[in-house]
Amino acid sequence: LFEAIGIKNVRMLPARRSDEAPGIGPGTHYLLAQPFLGETALELERRGAHRIAAPFPFGEEGTTAWLHAAARTFGISPEKVDEVIEAPRARAKAAVAKVAETLTGKSVFFFPDSQLEIPLARFLARECGMETVEVGAPYIHGDLMAPDLGLLPEGPVISEGQDVDLQLDRCREARPDLTVCGLGLANPLEAEGLRTKWAIELVFTPVHGYEQAADLAELFARPLRRTERLAV
């Protein structure tokens, strides 16, 4: 997509092989693809690279904003971007909408785990019609999170850091339809009749960009569909 938009020299960090690592310096602009890269960002800045502020590329909206931000930096017109992303964007919207049928109107509660919580809450609230009860993150990097926080609808408790007993109290009180949490909490909460989503799976699964936006939604929908299916 970057190439089609007109940004030619685009490299991935980290590269698949260490000998393909990109050179980084004052002429480099960088876009973060994951929110837990605060240290990396710091190191890049130290080498003179410039961060392009954008929401993270989760969901159709996040991906669109991410690409637009990059184009803006290089003086490419938004019309050009829109033209390039028209087809994949429409595909993502349609595919996410289908999965969102399971999610719309359901409530979700995030325990702090991977720092992906805020962008994901933004995706679930704005593209899947979910109600976010609480969004807990282990650490909130104000600068990196600002674009996503700005998009997150009013309402949910935003909590930083961990106090698991208090968070559990709030979660049990709210009885959300879906709780996103770490591996240690998932089964105990399931045993209490709460449906959960392993946060770690969101890190391991390819969920970025347009073509994988529905896969991302599917990760949240699957536990809910399983409950509907099972008769034991």
Residues that bind other proteins (CB under 8 A): 16, 87-88, 91-92, 94-96, 98-99, 102, 183, 186-187, 190-191, 196-198, 200-201, 204-206, 211, 214, 218, 221-223, 225-226, 229-232
Least Cβ distance, residue 104 to other proteins (angstroms): 14
One-letter amino acid identity for 49?
Answer: A
The answer to whether the beta carbons of residues 18 and 4 sit under 8 Å apart is no
Write out 99-134 in H/E/C secondary structure.
HHHHHCCCEEEECCCCCCHHHHHHHHHHHCCCEEEE
Nearer of residues 26 and 231 to other proteins, judged by Cβ: 231
Nearer of residues 53 and 94 to other proteins, judged by Cβ: 94
Least Cβ distance, residue 185 to other proteins (angstroms): 9
Report the distance separating Cα 177 and Cα 193, nearest Å.
10
Report the distance separating Cα 4 and Cα 215, nearest Å.
24
Least Cβ distance, residue 66 to other proteins (angstroms): 18
Nearer of residues 65 and 221 to other proteins, judged by Cβ: 221
The answer to whether the beta carbons of residues 171 and 189 sit under 8 Å apart is yes
Least Cβ distance, residue 147 to other proteins (angstroms): 26
